[in-house]
Amino acid sequence: MSDKVKVAYFDFTCCEGCQIEMTNFGDAAFLELLNHVEVVEFREAMSEKTTERINIAFIEGSFSREADRARLEEIRERSDIVIAYGACACTGGINALKNHQNDYHEEVYGKDAKMPHLDSQIALPVSAAIKVDYNINGCPMDKDEFIRVVSHLVHGKQPVIPNHPVCVECKLRETVCRYDQGDHCLGMVARAGCGAPCPADGIPCEACRGFIDHPNEESLVKVLMEKGGLSRERAETRSRMFTANCRADAPEKIVSPNK
Amino acid sequence: MNAFFIKEADFTQFLGNMIGARKVIGPKARKNRFVFDQIRKPEDLRLDYDVTILPPKKVFFPPRQELIRFHGQKGSSCIQPESTVLFGVHFYDIKAIDMTDHLFRENNMDFNYLAQRECTTLIGSNVQNIFKRAFFGSVGKGVAPKGHDGFTTKISGGYLYEVYTAKGKDLLAYGTFIEATEEQINEAREVNDSVMDKCPEKINHDSLEISEKVRSKFNSPVWEEFAHDCFSCGSCNLVCPTCYCFDVQDNWNVDQVTGSRDRTWDGCLLEDFSSCSLTGGSKENFRETRGSRYRHRIMRKTSYLTAKLGGPACVGCGRCSSSCTADIADPVNVINRLMEE
């Protein structure tokens, strides 16, 4: 019987890209990590399943069907630590873009719009159904952050999940601000941890990790209009791609698991 | 005084020789801004810069720095100073480096900072272009720049190079310098004096007066008013040449045995900066509101450190004002407003 930390991966409403990202870690990271953890369930990489006790459960994907609640509760029940990883699990991610719309069934599926499996609720983070201990944010989640969180837990330490905005990480790497380039950006309200690669490549931050705990949305709209040159309507909806459940107009307010 | 002159035509060769012999860090263009970075070709050095995104303190106090590398329970120091010439630093940043020198030296000496500081040759240069948010002409006027090894000023036909220390004198070997004339020394003084009243922004009061008045305004509604649009993004802290707070965390490598203890710049405007662990796993944040965090920064710059530093902990570079996307960080606006109340 192994005394390694037992980990399992589960997926809900998502593209499974974060699981793929995990296998993309390659020998250096993923196989090395396997010396310290035992994977007992991981649909993307192995066929075995488990019904046993799990030390760390990694959950990918948003909670978008009431029918999934029982499965989530069952995972919670037999796991010591539950980690939501990837934007969909942490905030609802891009799935939550549908939350303010109701005409997408016909738009997307045409004559198949009434198929029973398409009957879903609004897309919510995993934390809307069960208690989540930690979030590993990002679309997709980041290798270094994943290893940092797992390492801390293997050593019995509490990992620190960033609650500072992306501006911090742009400053640390001395990126010229998008606003100094006549562009706009969501970095002031976006949760960091990614290392701010997008503004460094010359594109605005889209807040794929959701908002920091207390984003100043009113000021964001003002800056997007005054400095970013966006119309009021565009400024007010600009942050929605990844933050539909974080915004003040969200149907159900997210409780950050890191508090 | 040791003052020398080098002709414009000889300056490129001087830079080329120095770059060939030493690691040189100086102002370089990055898109439409400037940064301090290693100079590998003479033409990369941009002494006509207005201000850099980050201040030159990063040479001694990098944004992210390994303090200790560990293997199991054993740790070893990461201090590996490298002889460096930090060239082309404006006088306001020299003032700021003098402050961080003091702050990292007092009490528990910070060898991670001091080791690199001590093997750096610090050479100033005159301000050729004034940054759009600068107010260095009206802040801490009684505080003179010191702690540098030499200073260059662009004058007619070339550069005046003033030497203050043996480290500064060493650089003479890289170029064709001649003794400067009285006229050249006077011209350089005039060049440096003339920028002082050309700043686009101005603080209207003396720093001692400001220190007392601002401190007395602790309970003013002004703080919440100015902080209304604050994103708590910490940009004003992170670009500040006198801010020196950092966070320390341990990180394991994937082998779970080796790793490092790292420090990263932190800032008092960030929400979690003042969040503390209490017994029983609970937390307390003693500066929970935007206004209280905003006030703390201004208090630190105007009042709290003045006795220790002999002047305000602000040098008027204007970096915080320009890096603030909501444009509420400018010390000139809040100080002048408080002084008029």
| Of the partner residues B249, B265, B270, the one whose CB lies closest to the CB of residue A172 | B265
Same-domain pairing of A81 and A172: no
Separation between Cα atoms, residue A212 and residue A168, nearest integer Å: 12
Q: What is the pLDDT of residue A254?
A: 64
Tell me, what CATH number does A34's domain have? 3.40.50.700
Contact residues, chain B, for A148 at CB < 8 Å: 251-252
Per-residue pLDDT at A190 exceeds 50: yes
Q: 21-60 in A: which are within 8 Å (CB) of B?
A: 28-29, 32-33, 35-36
Q: 248-307 in B: which are within 8 Å (CB) of A?
A: 249-256, 259, 264-265, 267, 270-272, 290
Same-domain pairing of A88 and A139: yes
Q: Across the interface, do A172 and B264 touch by the CB < 8 Å criterion?
A: yes
Same-domain pairing of A11 and A77: yes
pTM confidence score: 0.95
Same-domain pairing of A142 and A214: no
Separation between Cα atoms, residue B217 and residue B197, nearest integer Å: 29
Same-domain pairing of A149 and A171: no
Q: What is the pLDDT of residue A2?
A: 57
Work out the minimum CA distance from A39 to partner chain B, whole angstroms. Answer: 16
Separation between Cα atoms, residue B325 and residue B316, nearest integer Å: 18
Residue A231: CB atoms within 10 A of its CB come to 11
Same-domain pairing of B184 and B228: no
| Assigned domain for A159 exists | no
Mutation pick from A152, A188, A213, A259 vs chain B, by most beta carbons of B within 10 Å, is A188
Same-domain pairing of B246 and B111: no
Q: Across the interface, do A177 and B325 touch by the CB < 8 Å criterion?
A: yes
Does A227 reach chain B within 8 Å, measured CB to CB? yes
Q: Across the interface, do B252 and A163 touch by the CB < 8 Å criterion?
A: no
| Assigned domain for B238 exists | yes
Does B120 reach chain A within 8 Å, measured CB to CB? no
Q: How confident is the model at residue B280 (pLDDT cuts 50, 70, 90)?
A: confident
Extract the tokens encoding B126: 């005159």
Separation between Cα atoms, residue B177 and residue B14, nearest integer Å: 9
pLDDT tens sequence across A237-254: 999 999 999 999 997 666
Same-domain pairing of A106 and A196: no
Same-domain pairing of A92 and A191: no
Extract the tokens encoding B284: 């307390």
Same-domain pairing of A135 and A173: no
Separation between Cα atoms, residue A157 and residue A146, nearest integer Å: 14
Residue type present at position A158: Q
Q: What is the pLDDT of residue A1?
A: 40
Separation between Cα atoms, residue A72 and residue A87, nearest integer Å: 17
| Assigned domain for A161 exists | no
Coil, helix or strand at residue B152: strand
Q: What is the pLDDT of residue A52?
A: 86
Domain end point (choices B197, B222, B253): B197
| Assigned domain for B329 exists | yes
Which residues span the domain enclosing A210? Answer: 166-243
Extract the tokens encoding A228: 């970013």
Separation between Cα atoms, residue B87 and residue B114, nearest integer Å: 18
Same-domain pairing of A116 and A190: no
Does B32 reach chain A within 8 Å, measured CB to CB? yes
Strand-pair partners of A138: A141
Which residues span the domain enclosing B165? Answer: 2-197
Q: What is the pLDDT of residue A256?
A: 60
Q: Across the interface, do A219 and B272 touch by the CB < 8 Å criterion?
A: no
Q: What is the pLDDT of residue A120?
A: 83
pLDDT tens sequence across A121-160: 899 999 999 999 999 999 999 888 999 999 999 898 989 9
Same-domain pairing of B214 and B186: no
Measured between alpha carbons, how far is residue A60 from residues A67, A89, A121, B161 in Å? Answer: 16, 5, 17, 62
Same-domain pairing of A103 and A147: yes
| Assigned domain for A251 exists | no
The average confidence (pLDDT) of chain B is: 97
Q: How confident is the model at residue A259 (pLDDT cuts 50, 70, 90)?
A: very low
Separation between Cα atoms, residue A249 and residue A246, nearest integer Å: 8
Contact residues, chain A, for B235 at CB < 8 Å: 167-168, 171
| Assigned domain for B202 exists | no
Strands A79-85 and A134-136 come out as parallel
The average confidence (pLDDT) of chain A is: 91
Domain end point (choices A133, A154, A175): A154
pLDDT tens sequence across A28-50: 777 888 888 898 888 777 778 87
The whole-angstrom distance between residue B40's C-alpha and the CA centroid of its chain comes to 23
Separation between Cα atoms, residue A105 and residue A51, nearest integer Å: 35
- For the question of an ipTM over 0.85, the answer is yes
β-sheet with A5-11: strand ranges across: A37-42, A5-11, A54-60, A79-85, A134-136
Same-domain pairing of B288 and B167: no
Count of pairs with CB atoms under 8 A, one residue in A, one in B? 110
Q: How many domains, chain B?
A: 2
Same-domain pairing of A113 and A237: no
Same-domain pairing of B47 and B173: yes
Same-domain pairing of A51 and A170: no
| Assigned domain for A26 exists | yes
